[in-house]
């Protein structure tokens, strides 16, 4: 079995160059095949190009987003551009297209081989293989420019955080937990300084009692990468629109959704509108409750502002459900949560996670685990955990898929799947155990849900279908489904113990937490649909007719009860406008499917038989079948909207 050695800063360029050279050599092999080469021979030669590059994009993404050395991050970005350029060149290679087109698909008995040729031909047509030379040259130029400008957009967000100084020092942190205050010691002048990164932003906006400070801090958070990213975003929108037009599509939204489950921008918008209509009344009632609570202290209040939302929601939950989210933090020390998430995954899927301290990583805090069969014999996968914040690192939470697992005719053709989690959870230091909010525990389950999907999807002989290679609007299903385990009493009581007393988290506290979670989901859903609508509209219309700021404000006024805050430019720090482009709707699309899959567990999340069937029919299949077929095979029926509607209206 091939196991890719983790690259280092010193050998990153040779590592990438060797992969690209190998891919070019395999491309030459494919072109050298006889015109009457057997279909399976063409499939193997075509797949060999992808195998040469397997995981390279993921490794470069890790180094570009997480390596502590800025020069190394720059090298990784340059190599990402080279990889993208080769991908564009390959996608417009008429000789490769001709080789695939000569294969008689009906003569292929192997289902994966047929699918490989069919998808290859589809993707070549979507890339512009049939366009004239001038159009093809413009496509190449547009794709090159989009990679570079997209990197700039992401870089501005990563480095565009702001410092927020509280002159009155610790007094301005009233309402925050003691460990948060301790981790923000006063400067010589008595002031304390916050970053606008999530590890500071979420607790401060939720618990700080001083409304004036929350308002000012919210302004700082919502001007991240402003004004730098305003022209960058407009350029991304313009270039994508031109590229879509060159490829024969009316808009980028139509182009990017054509090969997804939604099939078109119009279908995606119809879905968003359907969910918005379903959530509207509940969201309005929840907003009224926030306003009613605010009026207890300010009887003249006429609205709730965005910077009050999290704080007031916390107060309403305490009032209605006697639940304080800070009360659960002592049960969620980082190391306990990490070990609990791992142990849950071991039991559920019948595997073992073994710590491996022999593997070099890109930062000393990164942990490595090997996943093995339950008896410890078979080496199934390797994962990396880069879980704590630091300067120059990606600011949110994500899974980076490196090597996709592959089957082979013999062991030398097999590839060990590898991947990494990149998060920003509290870091244990000294006597501070790194206490997490339950929202962060849920995020941990979410991201490892992505990672397990990638690592377990290793039944394919072709790299095209290995790893997370389903339609994009299915990608969030395994991750959002696994969030449910973070709410299960039995699961939590296995690992959530008080960091001082060792007492398991009490069942009444979990029950209160679950009841409180029901509050606010209407507002959460319409907020997500606002983001989805914004991302669709930016890419459905002609960018020349769109002022992104004006459209953002207009959509907020149309869909959200919280007024726009003058001087805020959320869109500049909304990284999904680049990475997901028009497809932010996929989070809710996937949640609808996840709620339906959840129903198969019938309340018993640790049911080994259902988990095994989920592994067999969904996780392990990768892209070997359409996502709708994966779901239908698991459920024994077509996917339904009913479970989601029931959850939202509960």
Q: Residue 120 belongs to a domain with what CATH number?
A: 1.20.1050.40
pLDDT digits (tens, 9 = 90+) for 554-592: 999 999 999 999 999 999 999 999 999 999 999 999 999
Give per-residue pLDDT as tens, 56-95: 999 999 999 999 999 999 999 999 999 999 999 999 999 9
Per the CB < 8 A criterion, the answer to whether 452 and 485 are in contact is no
Mean pLDDT, the chain, whole residue set: 96
- Range of lowest pLDDT (235-244, 358-367, 409-418, 579-588): 409-418
Domain membership flag for residue 46: yes
10 Å CB burial of residue 134 (0-12, 13-18, 19+) is: exposed
SS3 for 283-333 is HHHHHHHHHHHHHHHCCCCCCCCHHHHHHHHHHHHHHHHCCCHHHHHHHCE
Last residue of a domain, one of 175, 198, 221: 221
In-domain check, residue 102: yes
pLDDT score for 483: 98
Would you place residue 462 in the very low, low, confident or very high pLDDT band (cuts 50, 70, 90)? very high
**Is residue 410 over pLDDT 70?**
no
The pair of three-digit structure tokens given for residue 344, joined into one six-digit string = 């849950």
User: Over the stretch 335-349, which tens digit does the pLDDT of each residue have?
Assistant: 999 999 999 999 999
- Domain boundary among the residues 153, 188, 221 is at 221
By the 10 Å C-beta count (0-12 exposed, 13-18 middle, 19+ buried), 207 is classed as buried
| Residue 165 counted as domain residue | yes
Element at 384 (helix H, strand E)? strand 379-386
pLDDT band for position 143 (cuts 50, 70, 90): very high
Structure tokens at 490: 């039995």
Q: What is the mean pLDDT of residues 399-412?
A: 84
Residues 74 and 28 in one domain: yes
Q: Is the dihedral of CA 300, 303, 305, 306 positive or negative?
A: positive
For residue 153, pLDDT over 90 is answered with yes
Q: What whole-number distance in Å separates Cα of residue 269 and Cα of residue 276?
A: 10
Residues 105 and 205 in one domain: no
Task: Assess whether 122 and 165 both reside in one domain.
Answer: no
Q: Does residue 322 form part of some domain?
A: no
Alpha-carbon torsion, ordered 505, 506, 510, 515, to 10 deg: -150
Q: Please, are residues 433 and 338 in contact by the beta-carbon 8 Å criterion? A: no
User: What's the pLDDT at 133?
Assistant: 97
State the number of CA atoms in the 13 A half-sphere of 100 facing the CB.
26
Domain range enclosing 169? 161-221
Q: Which helix (H) or strand (E) holds 498?
A: none
- pTM for the model: 0.96
Given 180, 206, 221, which residue is the final one in a domain?
A: 221
Asked if 122 and 202 sit in the same domain, the reply is no
Q: Count Cα atoms within 13 angstroms, Cβ side, for 425.
A: 32
Percent of the chain surpassing pLDDT 70: 99
Same domain (yes/no): 121, 35? yes
Crossing angle of helices 133-159/229-246, nearest 10°? Answer: 160
- Those residues with Cβ within 8 angstroms of residue 589's Cβ, 6 or more apart along the chain or in another chain: 261, 262, 268, 271, 473, 476
Position 305 scores a pLDDT of 98
- For the stretch 273-298, pLDDT in tens is 999 999 999 999 999 999 999 999 99
Place of tokens 């279909």: 39
d(CA 634, CA 627): 11
| pLDDT at site 376 | 80
Domain count, the chain: 2
Per-residue pLDDT tens for 602-649?
Answer: 999 999 999 999 999 999 999 999 999 999 999 999 999 999 999 999
Sheet of 418-422, strand order? 351-355, 367-373, 379-386, 418-422, 398-401
Residue 48 belongs to some domain of the structure: yes
DSSP states of 92-144: T-HHHHHHHHTS-GGG---HHHHHHHHHHHHHHHHHTTTS-HHHHHHHHHHHH
* pLDDT for residue 101 is more than 70: yes
**Do 195 and 102 share a structural domain?**
no
pLDDT at 411: 61
Q: For residues 76 and 56, is the Cβ–Cβ distance under 8 A?
A: no
CA-CA distances (angstroms) from residue 1 to 460, 541, 591? Answer: 15, 49, 36
* Coil, strand or helix at 334: helix
* Residue 307 domain-assigned (yes or no): no
Q: Kindly state whether residues 18 and 105 are assigned to the same domain.
A: yes
Question: What mean pLDDT comes out for the span 106-111?
Answer: 95
**Residue 76 included in any domain:** yes
Alpha-carbon distances, residue 211 vs 173, 532, 563 (angstroms): 11, 29, 16
Give 3-state DSSP helix, strand, coil % of the chain, rounded to 5: 60, 5, 30
Asked whether residue 123 falls in the same domain as residue 165, the answer is no
Clarify whether residues 120 and 25 are in a common domain: yes
598 within some domain: no
Q: Are residues 112 and 31 in the same domain?
A: yes
Residues 167 and 105 in one domain: no
**Does one domain contain both 182 and 120?**
no
Please report the pLDDT score of residue 409 as a whole number: 60
């Amino acid at each position: 079995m091939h196991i890719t050695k983790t690259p280092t800063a010193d050998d990153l360029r040779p590592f990438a160059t060797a992969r690209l050279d190998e891919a070019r050599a395999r491309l030459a092999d494919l072109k050298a095949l006889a015109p009457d080469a057997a279909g399976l021979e063409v499939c193997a030669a075509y797949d060999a190009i992808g195998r040469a590059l397997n995981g390279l994009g993921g490794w470069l993404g890790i180094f570009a987003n997480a390596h502590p050395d800025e020069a190394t991050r720059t090298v990784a970005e340059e190599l990402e551009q080279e990889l993208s350029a080769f991908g564009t060149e390959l996608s417009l290679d008429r000789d490769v297209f001709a080789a695939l087109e000569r294969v008689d698909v009906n003569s292929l008995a192997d289902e994966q081989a047929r699918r490989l040729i069919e998808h290859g031909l589809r993707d070549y047509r979507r890339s512009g293989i049939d366009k004239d030379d001038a159009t093809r040259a413009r496509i190449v130029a547009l794709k090159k420019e989009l990679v570079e400008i997209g990197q700039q957009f992401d870089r501005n967000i990563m480095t565009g955080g702001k410092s927020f100084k509280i002159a009155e020092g610790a007094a301005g942190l009233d309402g925050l937990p003691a460990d948060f205050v301790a981790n923000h010691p006063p400067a010589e002048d008595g002031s304390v300084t916050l970053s606008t990164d999530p590890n500071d932003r979420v607790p401060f906006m939720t618990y700080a009692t001083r409304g004036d400070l929350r308002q000012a801090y919210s302004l700082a958070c919502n001007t991240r990468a402003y004004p730098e990213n305003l022209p960058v975003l407009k350029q991304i929108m313009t270039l994508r629109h031109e590229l879509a037009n060159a490829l024969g599509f009316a808009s980028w939204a139509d182009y990017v959704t054509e090969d997804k489950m939604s099939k078109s921008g119009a279908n995606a918008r119809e879905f968003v509108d359907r969910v918005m209509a379903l959530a509207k009344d509940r969201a309005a009632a929840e907003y009224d409750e926030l306003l009613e609570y605010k009026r207890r202290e300010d009887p003249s209040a006429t609205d709730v502002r965005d910077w009050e939302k999290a704080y007031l929601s916390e107060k309403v939950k305490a009032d209605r459900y006697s639940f304080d989210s800070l009360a659960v933090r002592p049960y969620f020390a980082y190391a306990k949560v990490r070990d609990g998430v791992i142990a849950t995954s071991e039991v559920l899927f019948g595997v073992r996670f073994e710590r491996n301290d022999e593997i070099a990583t890109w930062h000393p805090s990164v942990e490595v685990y090997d996943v093995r069969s339950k008896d410890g014999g078979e080496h199934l996968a390797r994962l990396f955990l880069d879980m704590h914040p630091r300067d120059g690192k990606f600011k949110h939470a994500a899974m980076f898929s490196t090597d996709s697992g592959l089957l082979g005719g013999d062991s030398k053709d097999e590839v060990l799947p590898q991947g990494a989690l990149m998060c920003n959870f509290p870091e244990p230091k000294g006597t501070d155990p790194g206490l997490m909010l339950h929202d962060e525990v849920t995020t941990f389950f979410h991201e490892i849900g992505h990672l397990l999907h990638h690592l377990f999807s290793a039944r394919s002989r072709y790299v095209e279908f290995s790893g997370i290679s389903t339609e994009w609007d299915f990608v969030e299903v395994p991750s959002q489904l696994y969030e449910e385990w973070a709410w299960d009493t039995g699961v939590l009581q296995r690992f959530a113990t008080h960091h001082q007393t060792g007492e398991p988290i009490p069942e009444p506290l979990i029950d209160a937490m679950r009841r409180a979670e029901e509050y606010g989901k209407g507002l959460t859903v319409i907020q997500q649909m606002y983001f989805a609508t914004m991302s669709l509209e930016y890419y459905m219309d002609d960018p020349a007719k769109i002022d992104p700021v004006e459209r953002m404000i207009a959509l907020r006024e149309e869909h959200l009860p919280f007024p726009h805050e003058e001087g805020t430019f959320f869109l500049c720090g909304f990284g999904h406008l680049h990475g997901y482009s028009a497809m932010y709707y996929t989070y809710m699309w996937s949640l609808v499917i996840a709620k339906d899959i959840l129903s198969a567990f019938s309340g018993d999340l640790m049911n080994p038989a259902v988990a095994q069937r989920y592994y067999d029919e969904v996780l392990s299949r990768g892209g070997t079948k359409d996502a709708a077929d994966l779901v239908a095979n698991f459920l024994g029926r077509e996917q339904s909207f009913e479970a989601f509607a029931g959850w939202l209206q509960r």
